[in-house]
Each structure stands twice: as C-alpha cells, then as structure tokens.
Amino acid sequence: MKTRITELFGIQHPIIQGGMHFVGLAELASAVSNAGGLGILTALTQPSPVALSAEIVRCRAMTDMPFGVNLTFLPSRTPPDYAGYVRAIVDGGVKIVETAGNNPQKWLPALHEAGVKVMHKCTSVRHALKAQSIGCDAVSVDGFECGGHPGEDDVPNFILLPRAAQALTIPFVASGGMADARSLVAALALGAEGINMGTRFVATKEAPVHENVKQAILRASELDTRLVMRPLQNTERVLNNAGVERLLEKERQLGSAITFDDIVAEVGGVYPRVMKDGEMDAGAWSCGMVAGLIQDIPRVKELIDRIMLEAEEIIRRRLIGMLA
C-alpha cells in the first residue's frame, strides 16, 4: 500500500509502532521495521544519551530497515538531557523522530539539518496545526481512546480524524484505538495516511515485556481503562489495577488540592516494575481502550501481514461490493 506516510518514511506498510516507555526497545522496534512497518525506540527509557546511542546500534544490528526514535517532553522536576538525546539520535544516523508531550520547535532545526523527518503526536486539531506551522513533517493524531496521554479535550477519533483532515495539509496517522484491518481502512477513510498503534504492539511475541502484561491486555475489555492525573492536567489512560484504584481514591479525597507528591507512589518508577517484573498492581501504566479488541499474542510480522491482507479484502470485496 502506498500513502504519503509510506513515501515520507520509506516504509512498505502504513503502520507505525508508537514510542512506549519500557516497551519501545530494539526487540520490538526492529521486529516492526522488519515486518515493513515503522518501529520506534523510546529515548527516555534509556537512562542516558550514551545508553540511547547503544540502543540505536543494537536496533541497527537487528534490522536494515528504517526505524525511528520517540522523544517525549512531559512535565518533570528534573528535565532529562534532551540536547544529549537529540545528539544521540543525529549522531546515530536515525532519520525519523516521533516527538510528543510538548512543542518540539526548539529541537527542529538540529533535527532537520541532519535530514531527520519529525512526526509530532497531537491530541487536538489546534496542536496539529501548530505542529504543521512550525515545520513538522507529519503528525500523529491521538484520539481520546488512546493509551497514554490523551490530553484534556476528550475528542474521540471519529471526530478528531476528519477534523484533522479538514485542517491539515501535512500527512497524518490515526492513533488510539487502532488494532486491525478494520481500524486501518476506517482511518484511511477518515483522511489519515496510516495508523499508529501502541497497546496492540505490547501484546505481541516480540514485545520485550513480562508475560503478565500481555495476559492482562488479553483479559481486559474496553471497559477496563481509567483516566488518572486529570486534576493535575496530565491525564493518562491506564489499565485499572489495585494501584490505580488507590490513586483514584486519593484524587477523590484531595480534589483540586492534589499534588504530584501525593501520588508519587502510584506513578513514580512504576514502568520497570510492571514491564520487567510483571508486578501488575504496582501502579499506573498506559493502556488503550483498544485492549477490548485484542484477543491474541501474535508475532509482529503475523499481525502486520494479517492487517494488510484483511485491509485489502475489506477494500476490494466488502467496500467495492457495496458499490456494485
């Protein structure tokens, strides 16, 4: 399939694996890229720019295909060494960056000078327009369904994607709630040039996370995610668990007086405990409503091949058949 996104990134299929903390490691990113999609390493999972450089080298040893790096700018008391991570990306010869969380303008000149294409993740049309105006090459439009940070506007993809299509001239991918061929064909119909998936890729054989995480996604229905940290204007969609229930109880009790210090036990340092150790009640970790559509743990190539094959069937048989 050829779209503006496959052309921009030099990939075979319009399927991207979004950056994921403690999931977006070389094993998964290389598997997605080897299957013809775009795999993405997550910069901040690496403890330092030097460690990111090593992860880029490790990923390159596992694939000859293009892969990207995610740079997430989220509120933090001690900001990471973003300049160092950008240097590691540029020096490592990576040509695609997914930015998220905050305006990436400051980093665009260095990235563009090095020939890096930048796709910014946005949860609203106004942010997508801003990304376009500062020179981003593409955007990833994340609807309210998405795992991770859906923003504060709560607009689901059935509205957000066609709004993005009306407003943008740069290409965009649909993100949030994407799981299968139906998602891909629907996203294309709504104006996107491809899909970005997070949660679906966690439940694959190659995702380098504890089996408990994959099984939890398999067990979950579309009703099992919760929104946390809304009072802090840092809303995150996570899979419900005992730690999340504790966090929500604190939010109820403390109301608008809540601070990050009050919830640090449920949100700080949770990812390694969940993703590496499989401690499923440790606290809040991102998961999309799309968990309700995930019923197997395929190899990445099986998943991507299945999506592309079934998408073609939907387009050639079901949709064309309806016209006949």
Ligand X SMILES: Cc1cc2nc3c(=O)[nH]c(=O)nc-3n(C[C@H](O)[C@H](O)[C@H](O)COP(=O)(O)O)c2cc1C
Complex with ligand X: residue 100 or 258, whichever CB lies closer:
100
Retrieve residue 50's tokens: 């030097």
Stretch that binds ligand X, among 15-23, 25-33, 218-226, 311-319 (CB under 6 A): 15-23
Q: Which of 100, 120, 122 has its CA nearest to residue 21?
A: 100
Complex with ligand X: residue 119 or 168, whichever CB lies closer:
119
- Residue 131 binding ligand X, by CB under 6 A: no
Count of residues engaged in binding ligand X, rule: CB under 6 A:
30
159-178 positions binding ligand X, by CB under 6 A: 175-178
Contact 83, 50 (CB under 8 A): no
Nearest-angstrom CA–CA distance, 205 and 28 = 9
Stretch that binds ligand X, among 105-113, 157-165, 252-260, 280-288 (CB under 6 A): 280-288
Nearest-angstrom CA–CA distance, 166 and 111 = 28
The residue of the chain with the least Cβ separation from ligand X equals 198
CA atoms within 13 A on the CB side of 300: 25
232-261 positions binding ligand X, by CB under 6 A: none
Min separation Cβ 141 and ligand X, Å: 10
29-88 positions binding ligand X, by CB under 6 A: 42, 70, 72
Residue span 197-236 as binding mask against ligand X, x where in contact by CB under 6 A, dash where not: xxxx-x----------------------------------
Contact 236, 227 (CB under 8 A): yes
Instruction: Please name the residue ranges forming H helices in the chain.
Output: 4-9, 26-34, 49-62, 82-91, 108-113, 125-134, 157-167, 181-189, 199-202, 211-219, 242-254, 260-267, 270-275, 300-313, 320-323
DSSP 8-state class, residue 314: I
Provide the binding-site residues for ligand X, judged by CB under 6 A.
18-21, 23, 42, 70, 72, 100, 121, 142, 145-148, 175-178, 196-200, 202, 285-288, 290
